[in-house]
Amino acid sequence: MLSTSLYVLAGLATWGSDIGTIAQSIITDDTVFYGQSPPVYPSPNGTGLGDWADSYEKARALVAQLTLEEKGHSVTFFTSWNRELAHKRAVGMAGEFRAKGVHIALGPVVGPLGRIASSGRNWEGFSNDPYLCGALAADTIKGIQSHFIANEQETNRNPEGNVTAVSSNIDDKTMHELYLWPFQDAVKAGTVNIMCSYNRINNSYGCANSKTQNGLLKTELGFQGFVVSDWWAQHSGVTTALAGLDMTMPFASPYWSSNLTQAVKNGSVPETRLDDMATRIIATWYKLGQDEGFPEIGKGMPYDLSQPHQRVIAKSPKNKDVLLQGAVESHVLLKNTNNALPLKSPKLLSLFGYSAKSFDTYTPGGGGWNGGSQALAPSDLIRNGDDILHTQIAANGTLISGGGSGANMPAYVSSPAAALSQRAYEDDTSLWWDFHSGNPQVDQSSDACIVVGNAFASEGFDRPGLHDDFTDALINNVASQCHNTIVVFHNAGVRLVDQFIDHPNVTALIFAHLPGQDSGRALTSILYGDVNPSGKLPYSVPRNESDYGPLQNATLPDGIYELFPQSDFTEGIYIDYRAFDAKNITPRYEFGFGLSYTTFNYSDLQISKDENADTSEYPSKPIVEGGQEDLWDVVAKVSATVANSGEVEGAEVAQLYVGIPNGPVKQLRGFSKPVLAPGESAVVDFELTRRDLSTWDVVAQKWLLQKGDYGIFVGSSSRTLPLTGTLSI
């Protein structure tokens, strides 16, 4: 088996602008921030809960035989809304990782949650909603066997010169109800490894934060695995050891190794803490069965592929269908005026846009595509004065992945141009194309004009905006000459569309997101109606960037915090659709929205409370992996009937939202995706647990199940909810 690594976000106690009253000039000493993240010591030892018992017994026996020096060195070392698909994808990934001798897959990522709309790393997560993110992460973890809290922006995530990493300042309620939520699902699903992040959390570095690691993760959630640092995210030795860090990466740290051994000898670090580090790591090794029959470490994974190396082809033919299905279901149909799609036996198509073609070069040495970053040729066609627009679009070919360490290197690429050319050959269709011009010539007799653009994002920097003038102008220029203009975006996150969406000749819009190597094949199958689109937005698309308010862009060093940038999460749990609901802002396309080539009807809402369920205010059972055991007890059940009232087969994501007293108007608490033939109906069932219905009590430090009426809403998106009812507790 393979380990997953989860990324921990961060933060616990808001402190607002109190510091501003203390200092009127630039703060140069971090002691002013001491105490903002409550200390939690000592680091709890792993206990071997549940199915960890045998692994812990073996690990403790082995650790007991190690010398002090040996112990020290051992610790140095998706839009588809489809749970089953997430699991199948993870199983395939696990096989590929194992074939390469990889013990730990650094994923899935469940943070950022998309708090900052322009964050360069939003594309690596599953959704802007904690419930959807946690549900898909849990199925991914189960399939494979990821960063720990509040890494919500790329700007200033690391120290730069005299400027520290940005601090994510999060209050206790927001931490539990929003940012910790998907990690709780991950721990319950059995993740064995969680990664601490680069940023500071309430002014304590993520890998040295005892509240998040010792308090939240290892105590409250009962996490039995080990905590590993992100690459070079460790900034101290004794502090990180005491705060719960178990392994530092990428290799021997100057803070640990012999220094950690010395810290134990001089009493700075208890030997029991060192024992627990080693035990957690070795128990994971045993639990995943990696002590027997595991391939050579890093087999076929040279640092430089252009140099001689052992070749290991890890892909499996049995995963091809899963990859294609994932690509297809990542496409979200957002506009389809007059049934412009699917295409109806076109005789002439025109294809435009830089993201329609394959990238120009694809070699181990770099070129057009290297680790997710794309070269900008031809740069002279995409300029704004003297500035090249290189951070908003990937201009050198179809965008199949975001950039940075989470980017993938495909075995092949099916571009939209290649797939449409093949379909033109098969159907005897004529095809025009222009991949470079911003104002191309258009044959106005075209049955349809397809414009393919993209929105690039990458680890390491945040997006400068949520749209680009070049692509918007390209779309409008084509639409002014073509009566049936279909727009497709390969987008690594939110992409604004109000600059062109109301043009009368823009008849259809598809967000393809990051479809991977089957990009063109998946798109063509949807354009021609070979498959019915079923994707739903995992975020909201606003009309203007200003709709996000201060959450549009990352926090920068400023004022008295020039050396210690502060990102105050004063919006609390109100991000994305929760914020738009609270502020009565109407988005262009709401969270959970997506069209189909058929239609669906909802009926027969049923709500029943489990009469045997314990509905006392607070949970009382002991902690298991994921938190107190009775948090997962089912309190109520909801069902509804979904019917396909159209003429073609289709899949519909039925969504359940709950209005919790004294909380947001509604929060996602369930989804189901039945596939229905024309005229067919299905009953979708949802279970609501104590946790689903609870809020975090900051005084009692427990999940509170309130007495009162809970709104129940079922429908096709966060704003199309035809079925409503009430659950009384």
Q: Measured between alpha carbons, how far is 377 from 185 in angstroms, rounded to an integer?
A: 43
Helix ranges, 385-518 (H): 416-427, 469-479
Strand partners of residue 295: none
- Note whether 497 and 588 are within 8 A (CB): yes
- Note whether 557 and 563 are within 8 A (CB): yes
From residue 606, how far is each of 157, 453, 611 by CA, in Å? 47, 44, 15
- Note whether 641 and 714 are within 8 A (CB): no
State both tokens at 273: 């803490």
Query: Is 604 part of the annotated catalytic residue set?
Result: no
Q: Measured between alpha carbons, how far is 362 from 306 in angstroms, rounded to an integer?
A: 12
Q: Measured between alpha carbons, how far is 627 from 136 in angstroms, rounded to an integer?
A: 19
Radius of gyration in angstroms for the set of CA atoms belonging to the chain, rounded to a whole number: 26
From residue 434, how far is each of 218, 341, 443 by CA, in Å? 56, 22, 12
- Give the CA diameter of the chain: 83
Nearest to 580 by CA among 717, 460, 451: 717
Residues in the chain: 729
Active-site annotation holder among 129, 185, 230, 275: 230
State both tokens at 376: 């900008």
Q: Measured between alpha carbons, how far is 31 from 711 in angstroms, rounded to an integer?
A: 46
Going by DSSP bridges, is the β-strand pair 634-644/600-609 parallel, antiparallel, or unpaired? antiparallel
State both tokens at 403: 């950039």
Q: Measured between alpha carbons, how far is 599 from 643 in angstroms, rounded to an integer?
A: 8
Q: Measured between alpha carbons, how far is 391 from 495 in angstroms, rounded to an integer?
A: 14
In three state form, how does the secondary structure of 174-196 look? HHHHHHCHHHHHHHHHCCCEEEE
Q: Measured between alpha carbons, how far is 240 from 586 in angstroms, rounded to an integer?
A: 45
Give φ, ψ of 9 to 5 degrees.
Answer: -85, -105
Active site residues: 230
